[in-house]
Copies of this chain bind each other. A is one copy, B any other.
Amino acid sequence: MAKENYTQYALLGLLTTDCRTGYAIKRMIDNSLNHFWKISYGQIYPMLKLLVEKGYATVEDLAQDGKPDKKEYSITPKGEQVLKDWIKQPISDLPVEKNEVLLKLFFGRHQDTVTTLHQLDAYKEKLIQRRETYENIRRMIETQSHDKKDAPFWLLTLDYGLRTTQAAIDWCTAAKKTLS
């Protein structure tokens, strides 16, 4: 059986926001969905083409004087229906989240404790930075007066990122105590 094609739905969903070009979609995902999604151009551009082929989106080729062409995409009613149908589908099984730090710690007996503690420090630092990023996104969403319809949902997903990141930070503190 073929894998679920999440890319398709992510793009359709983003076309219902202000994102209309492949570049804008990439930026949006990297900046505002980065607590639960990522994507590459190698996924975006072929998929945008496919969406148009399937009639889920339309494209407007904007040839500007001198500038390179710009393609603005819009979701169609058919595309909106496909998006809604997917959203209401039962959720699939929980994915495994691969974590390099935990993989190293799992084999931690092969290393001296001091080095392991340094790595936990570095990990905690990165997590704290991530938490700050999330706080910034939250402030951005809360201050932007437009997008009133989307905002509550966006804040909920952010809260997920904040809570799980905080739990990971707390774990770092506890783990360091255990090891030293």
A→B interface (CB under 8 Å): 4, 6, 9-10, 13, 16, 33-38, 80, 83-84, 86-88, 90-111, 115, 119, 122-123, 126-127, 130, 149-150, 152-154, 156-157, 159-160, 163-164, 166-168, 170-171, 174-175, 178-179
In angstroms, Cα B127 to Cα A156, docked, is 17
A84 (CB) vs chain B CBs: closest residue: B110
Question: Chain A interface mostly helix, strand, loop or mixed?
Answer: helix
Structural contact, A175 and B149, CB atoms closer than 8 A: no
A108 (CB) vs chain B CBs: closest residue: B153
Q: Give every chain B residue within 8 A of A170 (Cβ-Cβ).
A: 163
Structural contact, B110 and A16, CB atoms closer than 8 A: yes
In angstroms, Cα B157 to Cα A171, docked, is 9
A12 (CB) vs chain B CBs: closest residue: B107
Structural contact, B83 and A13, CB atoms closer than 8 A: no
Structural contact, A95 and B98, CB atoms closer than 8 A: yes
